[in-house]
Structure 1
């Protein structure tokens, strides 16, 4: 996620229900970092959102698996695949 600059207007609001102990812990953590609760929370939300998005949308391969994948991409297409691609689409 792009870093939020001071010039960007914050137009959205998010309300979160917390237990008192959660709020106390978050406020303490924010204070220890010298941040407001909002700054602390959005920093952690941004970092974890990026992690979750990357984890769900990125495939990691070992060097051996990557080499195998590249070899498959460079190999000629099987005849059945060529025939399938040569067919006229049903929506045309």
Structure 2
């Protein structure tokens, strides 16, 4: 029996053509999953991938080396002065 913490109570309804639904049902059956299980798994994987793509910064090796070198440089005087200020929101 499911506990309250794991109960699935939210619904997601989508419109599909009969052909799309049959295609997805076939894929689910081939994996031994229900339509709901298969769809939820693939939607979550796609959501994670899309979120990662939009929230991650990727650098090629040359750009990463330049970034790492910049981090090793001393903080510029103007930046040091800015960081020493009391923020307006404090």
The residue matched to 1:34 in structure 2 has which SS? coil
Mapping of residues 1-92 of structure 1, within 5 Å: 8-92=6-90
Dislocated runs of 4+, deviation >6 Å? none
- Please, what is the CA RMSD of the aligned residues? 1.8
TM-score after normalising by structure 1: 0.79
How many aligned residue pairs are there? 87
5+ long unaligned stretches in structure 2: none
5+ long unaligned stretches in structure 1: 1-5
Higher relative contact order (CA 8 A, sep 6+): 1
TM-score after normalising by structure 2: 0.81
